[in-house]
Amino acid sequence: MTTENLRARKTQPDSTSLPKDVQVNGSGASLLARTGHPAGKVKHGTAIQVLRGLLLATWLNACAVTIMTTQVIGSPLYWYNRDYYYAYMALTKQSFGICGTAGTRWFAPTPVRVSWDKDLKGQLWKSPSGRLETAFPERLVYVANHQVYTEWLYLWWIAYTSRMHGHIYIILKESLKYVPVLGPGMMFYGFIFMARKWTSDKPRLQHRLEKLKTRHSGPMSGSAGLDPMWLLIFPEGTNLSANTKKASKRWADKQGIEDLRHCLLPRSTGLFFCLQQLKGTVDWVYDCTMAYEGTPKGGFAPDFFTIRSTYLQGRPPKCVNMHWRRFAVSEIPLEDAKEFEEWLLARWREKDDLLELWYNTGRFPADAESADDKKGVSPEGYIETEITLNNWTEVGQIFVVLATVALLVNVVLKFIGIFVKLS
């Protein structure tokens, strides 16, 4: 669907019909006070919220400590056999994807509605058990608009549906690498930390991207060619909120360009450099447009779907909506930074039109030709499912190495005890 088609499909008044505080200030709090939360009333009282918080923290901390300990146990493989080392770390990365998906399913069960352009026909379907499955390439760069803090979990789950959750790489704020346990764990994963100072970020980013153009044999090395890699980038740099939207508007005014209605203006420098460095090793950029059912037009999803409301109060998004597109790297202008900036802004304006359509109709456009009820695709071309694991026994993967080591240590200590008694 072209941008012109999207603009022609407006079916309701634009944001000027919204309450004045939302038009001017983006005040989700005042709108929430008047209209109520889009996911309904708080489902759990204070005591239950505290209990849920403790249980969630216990689950996440247990997984994080276990995974990092598992990483440390396997780290000597780096000097023994690099192929086994990278395969081992990919398995621990899978474990974190499983941890996040399981935690979301238990504490914030979230329906998902997925649609896609005709270019992705045949790459998404629903299994007989009702789970989303995808057949995206082993190597790609994927981008998305950024609204809520849990988006990276939802996009990691998409990698899980392609069995690529052990090969995801994320560009993050540098401050996150200092978070206890999680920070060192993400460094083992090869995640890329950025200080938002290009002079210091560029050599670091170039070094990491060179690592992503390598080839290892053995387990977890993919079917052929270079190592599997899904590089996740949020070009907006931060999530959408009243404050960041104002900053985006100021930047648009300064540049003399039209601001976006439902997104922040994207930053092109990091993505441009990544695609330049990876050119010839990656064929596609996959683009996901995210929207959260119940978010009012002109409002901001983070005002409604906070960590507390989503995981503790029992008020997750009523539905996470995703629309997928892809672009051939060979057709993206990568010789000139200004041309690329214009290309990326054009894609973000299309994304803005997709969101305008979604706010007006409650649906992203879908490829009706992909409809196949045998593959779980609705007659309109959507797949509706939930964020969940394919098999709950996968949770055991998180703890198997540490449990095995503990068992071996126990056996060795018993043998030592028997030996000491006999001697």
Residues 382, 133: Cα–Cα separation, whole Å? 13
Q: Which residues pair with 286 in a beta bridge?
A: 142, 326
Contact 101, 389 (CB under 8 A): yes
The 10s digit of each residue's pLDDT in 213-260 is: 988 887 888 776 789 999 999 999 888 889 999 999 999 999 889 999
Percent of the chain with pLDDT over 90: 60
The 10s digit of each residue's pLDDT in 85-136 is: 999 999 999 999 999 999 999 999 989 999 999 999 999 999 999 999 999 9
Q: Which band of pLDDT confidence, cut at 50, 70 and 90, is reported for residue 419?
A: confident
Neighbours of 386 (CB within 10 A): 14
Assess whether pLDDT exceeds 80 at residue 270: yes
Task: Return the structure tokens found at 374.
Answer: 């045998």
* Residue entry with tokens 């560029």: 202
Residue 231 burial (CB < 10 Å; 0-12/13-18/19+)?
buried
Assess whether pLDDT exceeds 80 at residue 282: yes
**Which pLDDT score, from 0 to 100, does residue 395 have?**
95
Assess whether pLDDT exceeds 80 at residue 4: no
The 10s digit of each residue's pLDDT in 36-90 is: 777 778 888 999 999 999 999 999 999 999 999 999 999 999 999 989 999 999 9
* Residue entry with tokens 């988006």: 151
Q: How is 139-158 classified by DSSP, letter by letter?
A: EEEEEE---STTHHHHHHHH
Residue 97, amino acid: G
Rounded to 5 degrees, what angle do the CA atoms 380, 343, 291 make? 40
395 Rama class: left (phi>0) / alpha (psi -120 to 50) / beta: alpha
For range 1-12, the mean pLDDT: 44
Between 161 and 421, residue with greater pLDDT: 161
Phi, psi torsion values for 76, nearest 5 degrees: -60, -20
- Give the pairing of strands 383-386 and 111-116: antiparallel
Residues 257, 349: Cα–Cα separation, whole Å? 12
Between 1 and 161, residue with greater pLDDT: 161
Assess whether pLDDT exceeds 60 at residue 11: no
For range 299-313, the mean pLDDT: 89
Q: What is the dihedral of CA 98, 124, 293, 258, to 10 degrees?
A: 110
Q: Which band of pLDDT confidence, cut at 50, 70 and 90, is reported for residue 411?
A: confident
Task: Return the structure tokens found at 224.
Answer: 């052929």
pTM of the model: 0.88
Residues 385, 112: Cα–Cα separation, whole Å? 5
Neighbours of 312 (CB within 10 A): 23
Alpha helices in 217-374 (DSSP H): 242-255, 269-278, 301-304, 307, 337-361
For the chain, give the mean pLDDT. Answer: 87
Cβ neighbors of 240 (< 8 A, separation 6 or more) are 145, 146, 147, 262, 263, 264, 300, 301, 302
Of the given ranges (9-23, 178-192, 296-310), which has the lowest mean pLDDT? 9-23
Assess whether pLDDT exceeds 70 at residue 7: no
Cβ neighbors of 192 (< 8 A, separation 6 or more) are 169, 170, 171, 172, 204, 205, 208
Contact 231, 194 (CB under 8 A): no
Domain boundaries, the chain: 29-390
Burial 345-369 (b: 16+ CB within 10 A, else e): bebbbbbbbbbbbbbbeebbbbbee
Residue 341, amino acid: E
**Which pLDDT score, from 0 to 100, does residue 31 have?**
55
Rounded to the nearest 5 percent, the helix, strand and coil shares of the chain are: 50, 15, 35
Residue 385 burial (CB < 10 Å; 0-12/13-18/19+)?
buried
**Which pLDDT score, from 0 to 100, does residue 29 have?**
53
Contact 357, 9 (CB under 8 A): yes
**Which pLDDT score, from 0 to 100, does residue 35 have?**
57
**Which pLDDT score, from 0 to 100, does residue 358 have?**
95
The 10s digit of each residue's pLDDT in 185-214 is: 888 888 888 887 888 888 888 989 999 998
Residues 155, 101: Cα–Cα separation, whole Å? 10
The 10s digit of each residue's pLDDT in 19-36 is: 343 443 445 555 555 557
Alpha helices in 191-296 (DSSP H): 198-211, 242-255, 269-278
